[in-house]
Amino acid sequence: MITILGYYGYWVVLTYLGAISAVVGMSFAVSGNIKYAVVCLMISGVCDMFDGPLARLSKRTDREKLFGIQIDSLADITAFGVFPAVLGYAVCSETFGTATTLTVMSAYLLAALIRLAYFNVIEAELQSKSVKRTYYEGLPVTSVALILPIIYSVCLYFDVFLPPVYGASLIAISIAFLLKVKIPKLKLRYLICFCFIGLPFVLYVFLSNGM
């Protein structure tokens, strides 16, 4: 009998869908369809918002919980590390050149990778002690699913040249990833409110003739 590795319960479906949305978004980015790429980033963000609460509703073994930590971070580095970097290259490379753009995007990706690895270590320690997390250290990488669409929509609305704003934003976000500051962990009701913040943008971006 052939056995398939991994776990495929309902509690991990949103994590997988978020990663798939990121891959689709990267394909839009490299083909120059920036607005659809940004929408895919938002979809990945929504999936990430609710995969944790969904997982906590299920009865999981210790191994499944550990798997959840790892697969969530791997999906996060894909959706909120690699994807924004690919999107940044698509947006900025013609303006700043390949070398400068690759330097900024590489620095961003490295900061996201370090931040997620640190998060994994702390999260594993907390779960081993059955302690619930009440705050994050440093800006969560998933926040880019809200920050970058807002930046894109503001630039689109006010007709601001996007590349320098996007590049500067990624530099600032990279620093925020690694700063040892406490950021409160929001409850589910506040996460739902953030989803509604993004809805006007989604409607605007599909009805507009932007990038």
pLDDT averaged per 10 residues in sequence order, the chain, 211 residues? 82 94 98 94 91 83 86 95 98 96 98 92 76 81 92 88 97 95 74 68 64 52
Domain interval for residue 77: 10-207
Q: What integer pLDDT is reported at residue 1 of this predicted model?
A: 64
How far is 13 from 21, CA to CA, in rounded Å? Answer: 12
Residue 113 lies in a domain: yes
Residue 198 lies in a domain: yes
Q: What integer pLDDT is reported at residue 202 of this predicted model?
A: 66
Residue 148 lies in a domain: yes
Q: What integer pLDDT is reported at residue 209 of this predicted model?
A: 57
pTM of the complete model? 0.90
Residue 5 lies in a domain: no
How far is 77 from 88, CA to CA, in rounded Å? Answer: 15
CA angle 198, 203, 204 (to 5 degrees): 95
Residue 172 lies in a domain: yes
How far is 2 from 62, CA to CA, in rounded Å? Answer: 24
Which among 143, 131, 146 has a CA at the least distance from the CA of 198?
Answer: 146
Residue 138 lies in a domain: yes
Q: What integer pLDDT is reported at residue 210 of this predicted model?
A: 53
How many domains is the chain partitioned into structurally? 1
Assign residue 67 the CATH number of its domain: 1.20.120
